[in-house]
Amino acid sequence: MSLRLGIHDLSLATTSFVVQLDDLAAYAGVDPDKYRLGLGQEQMSVPGADEDIVTMAARAAAPILERHGVDGIRTLYVATESGVDQSKSAAVFVHSLLGLPSSCRAVELKQACYSGTAALQAALGQIARSPEDRVLVISADIARYALDSAAEVTQGAAAVAMLVSADPALVELESATGIYTAEVDDFWRPNDSSTALVDGKLSVDAYIDAYLGAWDDYRAHGGVPIEQIDRFCHHQPFTRMAAKAQRALAEHVGAEIDEARHLGSTRYNRRIGNSYTASLYAGLASLLDGDDDLTGARIGLYSYGSGSIGEFLAGRVVPGYRDHGRAAATLAALDTRTTLSIEQYRALHAGAAIGSVQDVTIAPVSSGPFHFTGVTGRARHYRR
Protein backbone atom coordinates (compact mmCIF):
# COMPACT_ATOMS: atom_id res chain seq x y z
CA MET A 1 0.00 0.00 0.00
CA SER A 2 1.46 3.36 -1.02
CA LEU A 3 2.14 6.03 1.57
CA ARG A 4 -0.53 8.76 1.78
CA LEU A 5 0.98 12.23 2.14
CA GLY A 6 -0.54 15.67 2.37
CA ILE A 7 -1.95 18.48 4.51
CA HIS A 8 -3.01 17.31 7.95
CA ASP A 9 -4.06 20.71 9.32
CA LEU A 10 -4.25 24.27 8.02
CA SER A 11 -4.64 27.61 9.80
CA LEU A 12 -4.91 31.15 8.40
CA ALA A 13 -3.98 34.40 10.16
CA THR A 14 -3.99 38.00 9.04
CA THR A 15 -3.31 41.41 10.56
CA SER A 16 -5.27 43.38 13.15
CA PHE A 17 -6.17 46.23 10.79
CA VAL A 18 -8.10 46.57 7.55
CA VAL A 19 -8.80 49.18 4.88
CA GLN A 20 -12.20 49.19 3.20
CA LEU A 21 -11.66 49.54 -0.54
CA ASP A 22 -14.84 51.61 -0.85
CA ASP A 23 -13.06 54.17 1.34
CA LEU A 24 -9.94 54.01 -0.81
CA ALA A 25 -12.05 54.42 -3.94
CA ALA A 26 -13.74 57.52 -2.47
CA TYR A 27 -10.32 58.98 -1.58
CA ALA A 28 -9.00 58.27 -5.09
CA GLY A 29 -12.17 59.55 -6.74
CA VAL A 30 -12.95 56.35 -8.61
CA ASP A 31 -16.04 54.16 -8.88
CA PRO A 32 -15.80 51.46 -6.15
CA ASP A 33 -16.97 48.89 -8.70
CA LYS A 34 -13.56 49.27 -10.32
CA TYR A 35 -12.22 47.43 -7.28
CA ARG A 36 -15.23 45.29 -6.34
CA LEU A 37 -16.01 44.04 -9.85
CA GLY A 38 -12.93 44.82 -11.91
CA LEU A 39 -10.45 43.31 -9.45
CA GLY A 40 -12.81 41.27 -7.30
CA GLN A 41 -11.56 42.87 -4.06
CA GLU A 42 -13.44 44.39 -1.12
CA GLN A 43 -10.89 44.89 1.66
CA MET A 44 -7.14 44.72 2.28
CA SER A 45 -5.42 43.73 5.50
CA VAL A 46 -2.81 46.18 6.77
CA PRO A 47 -0.20 45.36 9.43
CA GLY A 48 0.18 47.46 12.55
CA ALA A 49 3.58 48.82 13.51
CA ASP A 50 4.16 45.75 15.73
CA GLU A 51 3.08 43.22 13.08
CA ASP A 52 5.19 41.65 10.32
CA ILE A 53 5.66 38.27 8.66
CA VAL A 54 7.17 36.78 11.82
CA THR A 55 4.22 37.71 14.04
CA MET A 56 1.68 36.60 11.42
CA ALA A 57 3.51 33.30 10.84
CA ALA A 58 3.54 32.52 14.55
CA ARG A 59 -0.11 33.55 14.86
CA ALA A 60 -1.08 31.18 12.03
CA ALA A 61 0.89 28.24 13.44
CA ALA A 62 -0.08 28.54 17.11
CA PRO A 63 -3.54 26.90 16.74
CA ILE A 64 -1.95 23.95 14.93
CA LEU A 65 0.51 23.37 17.78
CA GLU A 66 -2.28 23.77 20.34
CA ARG A 67 -4.20 21.01 18.58
CA HIS A 68 -1.36 18.62 17.72
CA GLY A 69 1.61 19.48 19.92
CA VAL A 70 5.22 19.67 18.74
CA ASP A 71 6.24 16.00 18.82
CA GLY A 72 7.63 14.83 15.51
CA ILE A 73 8.02 18.32 14.03
CA ARG A 74 11.65 18.25 12.96
CA THR A 75 11.45 20.92 10.25
CA LEU A 76 9.94 24.40 10.05
CA TYR A 77 9.84 26.14 6.68
CA VAL A 78 8.82 29.79 6.39
CA ALA A 79 8.17 30.86 2.81
CA THR A 80 8.15 34.61 2.18
CA GLU A 81 9.24 37.41 -0.10
CA SER A 82 8.95 39.91 2.77
CA GLY A 83 12.04 38.77 4.66
CA VAL A 84 13.10 40.77 7.72
CA ASP A 85 16.84 40.03 7.47
CA GLN A 86 19.23 39.31 4.59
CA SER A 87 20.89 36.45 6.48
CA LYS A 88 18.95 35.27 9.53
CA SER A 89 15.93 33.19 8.64
CA ALA A 90 12.49 34.45 9.63
CA ALA A 91 11.88 30.81 10.55
CA VAL A 92 14.36 31.08 13.45
CA PHE A 93 12.38 33.97 14.95
CA VAL A 94 9.15 31.99 14.50
CA HIS A 95 10.78 28.87 15.99
CA SER A 96 11.54 30.85 19.14
CA LEU A 97 8.08 32.44 19.44
CA LEU A 98 6.38 29.06 19.06
CA GLY A 99 8.67 27.27 21.51
CA LEU A 100 9.63 24.55 19.04
CA PRO A 101 12.30 22.07 20.16
CA SER A 102 15.97 22.65 19.41
CA SER A 103 15.93 19.43 17.35
CA CYS A 104 13.91 21.22 14.63
CA ARG A 105 15.60 22.75 11.58
CA ALA A 106 14.34 26.21 10.62
CA VAL A 107 14.74 27.54 7.08
CA GLU A 108 13.39 30.45 5.02
CA LEU A 109 12.58 29.98 1.32
CA LYS A 110 12.18 32.66 -1.36
CA GLN A 111 10.88 32.78 -4.91
CA ALA A 112 8.29 35.51 -5.11
CA CYS A 113 4.79 34.12 -4.41
CA TYR A 114 5.73 30.53 -5.29
CA SER A 115 7.99 29.48 -2.41
CA GLY A 116 5.21 28.13 -0.19
CA THR A 117 4.69 25.40 -2.76
CA ALA A 118 8.44 24.74 -2.90
CA ALA A 119 8.35 24.31 0.88
CA LEU A 120 5.34 22.00 0.62
CA GLN A 121 7.10 19.82 -1.96
CA ALA A 122 10.24 19.67 0.19
CA ALA A 123 8.12 18.67 3.17
CA LEU A 124 6.49 15.84 1.22
CA GLY A 125 9.92 14.53 0.24
CA GLN A 126 11.12 14.54 3.83
CA ILE A 127 8.05 12.67 5.08
CA ALA A 128 8.34 10.11 2.28
CA ARG A 129 11.80 9.35 3.68
CA SER A 130 10.76 9.51 7.36
CA PRO A 131 6.99 8.89 7.59
CA GLU A 132 6.95 9.38 11.35
CA ASP A 133 8.07 13.01 10.98
CA ARG A 134 5.84 16.04 10.53
CA VAL A 135 6.80 19.31 8.83
CA LEU A 136 5.40 22.74 9.65
CA VAL A 137 5.16 24.89 6.51
CA ILE A 138 4.21 28.56 6.89
CA SER A 139 3.68 31.03 4.06
CA ALA A 140 3.64 34.62 5.30
CA ASP A 141 3.79 37.88 3.36
CA ILE A 142 2.92 41.56 3.26
CA ALA A 143 2.10 42.96 -0.17
CA ARG A 144 3.10 46.62 -0.10
CA TYR A 145 3.17 49.04 -3.04
CA ALA A 146 3.77 52.75 -3.31
CA LEU A 147 0.96 55.08 -2.23
CA ASP A 148 -1.14 56.36 -5.14
CA SER A 149 0.31 53.75 -7.50
CA ALA A 150 -1.86 51.59 -9.76
CA ALA A 151 -0.99 48.53 -7.65
CA GLU A 152 -1.85 50.15 -4.29
CA VAL A 153 -5.32 48.65 -4.22
CA THR A 154 -3.88 45.10 -4.51
CA GLN A 155 -2.01 45.24 -1.21
CA GLY A 156 -2.74 42.84 1.64
CA ALA A 157 -1.20 40.60 4.28
CA ALA A 158 -1.70 37.09 5.65
CA ALA A 159 -0.02 33.89 6.76
CA VAL A 160 -1.10 30.29 6.29
CA ALA A 161 0.40 27.47 8.35
CA MET A 162 0.14 23.85 7.23
CA LEU A 163 1.07 20.71 9.11
CA VAL A 164 2.31 18.24 6.49
CA SER A 165 2.28 14.56 7.36
CA ALA A 166 1.54 11.01 6.39
CA ASP A 167 -2.13 9.96 6.61
CA PRO A 168 -3.39 13.56 6.34
CA ALA A 169 -6.79 14.61 7.68
CA LEU A 170 -7.52 17.38 5.14
CA VAL A 171 -6.02 16.90 1.66
CA GLU A 172 -4.07 13.98 0.27
CA LEU A 173 -1.70 15.33 -2.38
CA GLU A 174 -1.14 13.36 -5.57
CA SER A 175 2.31 12.73 -6.99
CA ALA A 176 1.80 14.23 -10.46
CA THR A 177 2.92 17.83 -10.77
CA GLY A 178 3.60 20.27 -13.59
CA ILE A 179 6.29 22.96 -13.57
CA TYR A 180 7.08 25.99 -15.75
CA THR A 181 10.03 28.35 -15.27
CA ALA A 182 10.95 31.40 -17.38
CA GLU A 183 13.03 34.48 -16.54
CA VAL A 184 10.68 37.50 -16.76
CA ASP A 185 10.85 41.00 -15.29
CA ASP A 186 7.15 41.17 -14.44
CA PHE A 187 7.49 41.92 -10.72
CA TRP A 188 10.43 42.39 -8.36
CA ARG A 189 11.61 44.26 -5.27
CA PRO A 190 15.22 45.50 -5.26
CA ASN A 191 17.20 45.17 -2.03
CA ASP A 192 17.16 48.95 -1.59
CA SER A 193 13.36 49.31 -1.94
CA SER A 194 10.63 48.76 0.67
CA THR A 195 7.95 48.51 -2.03
CA ALA A 196 7.68 46.20 -5.02
CA LEU A 197 7.81 47.14 -8.69
CA VAL A 198 5.39 45.60 -11.15
CA ASP A 199 4.64 45.67 -14.86
CA GLY A 200 0.92 44.98 -14.63
CA LYS A 201 0.21 43.75 -18.16
CA LEU A 202 3.38 41.67 -18.36
CA SER A 203 2.61 40.18 -14.95
CA VAL A 204 -0.82 38.98 -16.09
CA ASP A 205 0.66 37.56 -19.31
CA ALA A 206 3.48 35.81 -17.44
CA TYR A 207 1.02 34.37 -14.91
CA ILE A 208 -1.15 32.87 -17.65
CA ASP A 209 1.83 31.64 -19.70
CA ALA A 210 3.15 29.82 -16.63
CA TYR A 211 -0.31 28.38 -15.90
CA LEU A 212 -0.68 26.89 -19.35
CA GLY A 213 2.92 25.66 -19.39
CA ALA A 214 2.56 24.08 -15.95
CA TRP A 215 -0.72 22.45 -17.01
CA ASP A 216 0.87 20.90 -20.08
CA ASP A 217 3.77 19.59 -17.96
CA TYR A 218 1.30 18.24 -15.40
CA ARG A 219 -0.51 16.26 -18.08
CA ALA A 220 2.80 15.05 -19.53
CA HIS A 221 3.79 13.71 -16.11
CA GLY A 222 0.66 11.67 -15.45
CA GLY A 223 -1.81 14.35 -14.34
CA VAL A 224 -5.50 13.70 -14.84
CA PRO A 225 -7.53 15.38 -17.62
CA ILE A 226 -9.39 18.57 -16.79
CA GLU A 227 -12.77 16.82 -16.54
CA GLN A 228 -11.52 14.94 -13.46
CA ILE A 229 -10.70 18.09 -11.48
CA ASP A 230 -13.68 19.13 -9.38
CA ARG A 231 -12.42 22.48 -8.04
CA PHE A 232 -9.63 24.87 -8.94
CA CYS A 233 -7.64 27.05 -6.57
CA HIS A 234 -5.18 29.70 -7.78
CA HIS A 235 -2.63 32.14 -6.50
CA GLN A 236 -4.71 35.33 -6.39
CA PRO A 237 -2.95 38.72 -6.69
CA PHE A 238 -6.57 39.81 -7.05
CA THR A 239 -9.46 37.38 -7.25
CA ARG A 240 -10.47 38.20 -10.83
CA MET A 241 -7.09 36.83 -11.85
CA ALA A 242 -8.46 33.36 -11.13
CA ALA A 243 -11.28 33.96 -13.62
CA LYS A 244 -8.82 35.17 -16.26
CA ALA A 245 -6.68 32.08 -15.72
CA GLN A 246 -9.61 29.70 -16.00
CA ARG A 247 -10.80 31.25 -19.24
CA ALA A 248 -7.30 30.92 -20.67
CA LEU A 249 -7.04 27.26 -19.61
CA ALA A 250 -10.48 26.46 -21.04
CA GLU A 251 -9.46 27.90 -24.39
CA HIS A 252 -6.08 26.13 -24.23
CA VAL A 253 -7.57 22.66 -23.72
CA GLY A 254 -10.78 23.24 -25.67
CA ALA A 255 -13.11 22.53 -22.77
CA GLU A 256 -15.88 24.30 -20.90
CA ILE A 257 -14.95 25.15 -17.30
CA ASP A 258 -17.82 26.32 -15.11
CA GLU A 259 -16.79 29.45 -13.18
CA ALA A 260 -18.28 27.91 -10.03
CA ARG A 261 -15.37 25.47 -9.99
CA HIS A 262 -13.05 28.22 -8.70
CA LEU A 263 -15.32 30.79 -7.01
CA GLY A 264 -15.29 29.01 -3.65
CA SER A 265 -11.58 29.72 -3.30
CA THR A 266 -11.95 33.51 -3.53
CA ARG A 267 -13.98 34.36 -0.42
CA TYR A 268 -11.12 35.01 2.01
CA ASN A 269 -8.85 36.63 -0.56
CA ARG A 270 -11.53 39.21 -1.43
CA ARG A 271 -11.28 40.39 2.18
CA ILE A 272 -7.53 40.00 2.78
CA GLY A 273 -6.03 41.27 -0.47
CA ASN A 274 -2.86 39.89 -1.98
CA SER A 275 -0.73 37.90 0.43
CA TYR A 276 1.93 36.62 -1.98
CA THR A 277 3.10 33.18 -0.77
CA ALA A 278 0.02 32.76 1.44
CA SER A 279 -2.49 33.62 -1.29
CA LEU A 280 -2.93 30.16 -2.84
CA TYR A 281 -3.32 28.47 0.52
CA ALA A 282 -5.70 31.14 1.82
CA GLY A 283 -7.76 30.18 -1.22
CA LEU A 284 -7.54 26.51 -0.23
CA ALA A 285 -8.69 27.40 3.29
CA SER A 286 -11.64 29.28 1.79
CA LEU A 287 -12.57 26.32 -0.37
CA LEU A 288 -12.40 23.80 2.49
CA ASP A 289 -14.36 26.12 4.81
CA GLY A 290 -17.16 26.65 2.28
CA ASP A 291 -20.68 25.25 2.32
CA ASP A 292 -20.09 22.58 -0.33
CA ASP A 293 -19.25 19.07 0.89
CA LEU A 294 -15.99 18.35 -0.93
CA THR A 295 -15.39 14.87 0.46
CA GLY A 296 -13.40 12.94 -2.14
CA ALA A 297 -13.21 15.92 -4.50
CA ARG A 298 -10.02 16.55 -6.46
CA ILE A 299 -8.72 20.13 -6.10
CA GLY A 300 -6.33 21.51 -8.69
CA LEU A 301 -3.83 23.99 -7.20
CA TYR A 302 -1.96 26.56 -9.29
CA SER A 303 0.99 28.23 -7.61
CA TYR A 304 2.74 31.18 -9.28
CA GLY A 305 5.73 33.30 -8.38
CA SER A 306 6.81 36.24 -10.52
CA GLY A 307 10.13 36.15 -12.18
CA SER A 308 8.78 33.45 -12.90
CA ILE A 309 7.80 29.94 -11.74
CA GLY A 310 4.43 28.21 -12.01
CA GLU A 311 3.43 24.80 -10.65
CA PHE A 312 0.21 22.83 -10.96
CA LEU A 313 -0.59 20.01 -8.54
CA ALA A 314 -3.70 18.31 -7.25
CA GLY A 315 -5.06 16.67 -4.13
CA ARG A 316 -8.10 14.73 -2.93
CA VAL A 317 -10.16 15.96 0.00
CA VAL A 318 -10.11 13.40 2.81
CA PRO A 319 -13.35 12.02 4.32
CA GLY A 320 -14.02 13.69 7.66
CA TYR A 321 -12.14 16.86 6.71
CA ARG A 322 -14.95 19.04 8.08
CA ASP A 323 -14.15 17.86 11.60
CA HIS A 324 -10.80 19.64 11.36
CA GLY A 325 -11.86 22.97 9.81
CA ARG A 326 -11.29 26.42 11.27
CA ALA A 327 -13.97 28.47 9.49
CA ALA A 328 -15.36 30.07 12.64
CA ALA A 329 -11.94 31.20 13.86
CA THR A 330 -10.97 32.57 10.44
CA LEU A 331 -14.19 34.52 9.99
CA ALA A 332 -13.87 35.91 13.52
CA ALA A 333 -10.33 37.11 12.75
CA LEU A 334 -11.56 38.85 9.60
CA ASP A 335 -14.61 40.36 11.26
CA THR A 336 -12.75 41.76 14.28
CA ARG A 337 -10.04 43.69 12.42
CA THR A 338 -10.01 47.40 13.19
CA THR A 339 -10.97 49.54 10.19
CA LEU A 340 -8.45 52.30 9.48
CA SER A 341 -9.37 55.67 8.04
CA ILE A 342 -7.49 56.50 4.86
CA GLU A 343 -5.47 59.08 6.83
CA GLN A 344 -4.49 56.46 9.44
CA TYR A 345 -3.62 53.95 6.73
CA ARG A 346 -1.43 56.39 4.82
CA ALA A 347 0.44 57.40 7.97
CA LEU A 348 1.02 53.73 8.86
CA HIS A 349 2.22 53.00 5.31
CA ALA A 350 4.64 55.94 5.39
CA GLY A 351 6.26 54.69 8.60
CA ALA A 352 6.42 51.02 7.68
CA ALA A 353 10.07 50.95 6.55
CA ILE A 354 12.01 50.74 9.82
CA GLY A 355 15.78 50.76 9.47
CA SER A 356 18.31 49.22 11.82
CA VAL A 357 20.83 52.05 12.22
CA GLN A 358 19.01 53.59 15.18
CA ASP A 359 17.48 51.72 18.10
CA VAL A 360 13.70 51.91 18.13
CA THR A 361 11.02 50.61 20.49
CA ILE A 362 7.64 49.60 19.08
CA ALA A 363 4.67 49.71 21.42
CA PRO A 364 2.14 46.85 21.13
CA VAL A 365 -0.90 48.03 19.16
CA SER A 366 -2.22 44.86 17.53
CA SER A 367 -4.66 42.33 18.95
CA GLY A 368 -2.56 39.22 18.35
CA PRO A 369 -0.41 37.33 20.85
CA PHE A 370 2.89 38.02 19.06
CA HIS A 371 4.54 41.43 18.69
CA PHE A 372 7.55 42.97 16.99
CA THR A 373 9.04 45.10 19.77
CA GLY A 374 11.73 47.01 17.90
CA VAL A 375 15.41 47.11 17.06
CA THR A 376 18.34 47.19 19.47
CA GLY A 377 21.98 47.05 18.34
CA ARG A 378 20.69 46.57 14.76
CA ALA A 379 18.92 43.30 15.76
CA ARG A 380 15.15 42.75 15.61
CA HIS A 381 13.27 41.59 18.70
CA TYR A 382 9.93 39.90 19.26
CA ARG A 383 7.89 38.75 22.23
CA ARG A 384 4.87 36.59 22.97
Q: Which is catalytic among the residues 42, 51, 81, 108?
A: 81
Pick from 79, 117, 305, 111: nearest CA to 211:
305
Mean per-residue pLDDT for 45-60?
Answer: 97
Where in the sequence is the domain holding 227, given as residue range(s)? Answer: 5-383
Give the percent of the chain with pLDDT over 90: 86
What value does the mean pLDDT take over residues 261-285?
A: 94
**Active site includes 104?**
no
Model confidence at 65: pLDDT above 60: yes
H-helix segments, 69-199: 90-98, 115-129
Q: Residues 61-67: what's their mean pLDDT?
A: 98
Q: Is 174 a catalytic residue?
A: no
pLDDT at residue number 1: 57
Residue 152 carries which DSSP code? Answer: G
Distances (CA, A) of 144 to 92, 114, 123, 346, 355: 23, 17, 29, 12, 16
pLDDT of 186 reads 87
CA 107 to each of CA 13, 66, 220, 294, 368: distance values in angstroms, whole numbers, following the listed order: 20, 22, 32, 33, 24
Out of 95, 108, 113, 262, pick the active-site residue. 113
Q: What is the arithmetic mean of pLDDT over 243-247?
A: 91
Look up 233 and say whether it is catalytic. no
Mean pLDDT of the chain: 95
Greater confidence (146 vs 354) lies with: 146
| Cα 242 to the center of its chain, rounded Å | 15
Domain count, the chain: 1
Taking Cα atoms as reference points, which of 210, 214, 215, 184 lies closest to residue 199?
184
Query: pLDDT, tens digit, for every residue of 77-128?
Result: 999 999 999 999 999 999 999 999 999 999 999 999 999 999 999 999 999 9
Q: Which residues pair with 44 in a beta bridge?
A: 19
CATH number of the domain enclosing 245: 3.40.47.10
Catalytic site residue from 8, 95, 234, 235:
235
Q: Are 215 and 225 in contact (CB under 8 A)?
A: no
Q: Tens of pLDDT along 119-175? A: 999 999 999 999 999 999 999 999 999 999 989 999 999 999 999 999 999 999 999
- Mean pLDDT computed over 176-196: 90
Residue 331 pLDDT: 97
